[in-house]
Amino acid sequence: MKYYIISGEPSGDIYGSRLINEIKRSDSKANIRFWGGDLMKESGGTLVKHYKDLAFMGFFEVLTNIFKILKNFSLCKNDIIKFSPDKIIFIDYPGFNLRIAKWAKKKKFKTFYYISPQVWAWKENRVSTIKKYIDHMYVIMPFEKKFYKEKYNYEVQYYGHPLVDIIDESLKNKEIIKNVKPIIAILPGSRKQEINSTLNKVLSIVKDFKKYQFIIAGLNHINKNIYDEAVAKSGASVKVLYNKTYDLLKNSNAAIVTSGTATLETALIGTPQIVCYATNSLNMFLAKLFVKINFISLVNLILNKEVVKELIQSDFNNKMIKTELNLILKEKRNQIQKDYKDLRNLLKGEDIESKIVNHIINN
């Protein structure tokens, strides 16, 4: 059978690689073509477009790259027609994927969506598109199945969150990071825009925590000069460790994390964290108009309470970062880790990818 998979982000590359591995185990004749990253490429199949060429974040960035985005739509459609897959699997990345799904369904392709767009947070009108153009949806948040069924009478599949297994497997052979001082991890994001808007602010507090070593979780697809220039500008003694985020978090006493999947990863590893987010004024103005949730971090959203402190926009400043970091290093630590255990219990599943692939193959 022929499978076409579209993922546009680093987290999707992780999930996609595990799907590809399971597809190949379940279907010995599988022919796979995909948009994704290095992990999916290692798992097998033909890479069409790397996610590093698709990372446009926020309203302003999308607007300024509109012609490149339109070109990618055209490329994707033409490539699907040429490949003529039996199944098209979309992984998150809704701005792109839902438009392709609408086109693909009209062309009579079978459409499967893994990891729901966050329609419970904003753009709830996307549900009508999903119901009309997605044959089967696989969600990874425990509350999403109820949301779709009770509010929209749309049946989706929930088998658990794959990150629990991904993290547990990754940490079986955990690397010990040797350091004289206890470590505080900095996770500034996976996109250049995120890093530029957050890293300088975080580095401004380093000199106030002389008993700790700050280490940045660097990513290979980001130009190293971005990290190096920020560190040099701060004048602080900060290291950068590339592509070992899980090992870094496991060896850290605390973490300062840019909002996104990394907040959930940090929680499942068990590291107390502060969640930070800053963007340009236009993006924030539009977000306030349309976003309908009380929290931005997945940890707080899933547990429906403030487990980790969120420093957003004007609250994301030198004074607040220092205050909250001191709190999670001391008195807040035990309660945060207790809540993390509740989170893990909610998300834990068994043979998640196997169940998803089996469902895809048989539908």
DSSP per-residue string spanning 135-171? SEEEE-STTHHHHHHHHH----EE---HHHHHHHHHT
pLDDT of residue 282: 53
- How far apart, in whole angstroms, are the C-alpha atoms of residue 363 and residue 359? 6
pLDDT of residue 343: 96
Closest CA to 180 of 208, 213, 217, 205: 213
pLDDT of residue 287: 53
Cα distances (angstroms) measured from residue 308 to each of 57, 207, 329: 24, 23, 12
- Condensed to tens digits (0 to 9), the pLDDT of residues 143-202 reads 999 999 999 999 999 999 999 999 999 888 778 888 889 999 999 987 777 787 788 899
Beginning with the edge strand found earlier in the chain, give each strand of the sheet holding 110-114 in spatial order: 46-50, 31-36, 2-7, 87-91, 110-114, 136-139, 157-158
pLDDT of residue 288: 52
pLDDT of residue 156: 97
Select from 3.40.50.2000, 3.40.50.150, 3.40.50.10470, 3.90.45.10 the CATH code of 2-160+349-361.
3.40.50.2000
The Cβ of residue 281 has, within 10 Å, a number of other Cβ atoms equal to 9
Note whether 2-160+349-361 and 170-347 share their fold.
yes
pLDDT of residue 56: 57
pLDDT of residue 265: 94
pLDDT of residue 280: 56
Averaged pLDDT, groups of 10, the chain, 363 residues long: 94 94 96 96 94 65 67 94 98 93 97 92 88 97 92 95 92 82 92 82 92 93 88 90 93 93 94 85 52 76 92 88 95 95 94 97 95
Q: How many CA atoms lie within 13 A of 136 on its CB side?
A: 17
CA dihedral of residues 77, 79, 85, 90 (deg, nearest 10): -60
The Cβ of residue 174 has, within 10 Å, a number of other Cβ atoms equal to 12
pLDDT of residue 308: 95
Task: Find residue 276's DSSP bridge partners.
Answer: 258, 311
- Domain boundaries of the chain, sorted by first residue: 2-160+349-361, 170-347
Q: Which residues contact 63 (CB under 8 A, 6 or more apart)?
A: none
Geometric angle at alpha carbon 319, from 198 and 224, rounded to 5°: 25
Name the CATH superfamily, with its identifier, for domain 170-347.
Answer: Glycogen Phosphorylase B; (3.40.50.2000)
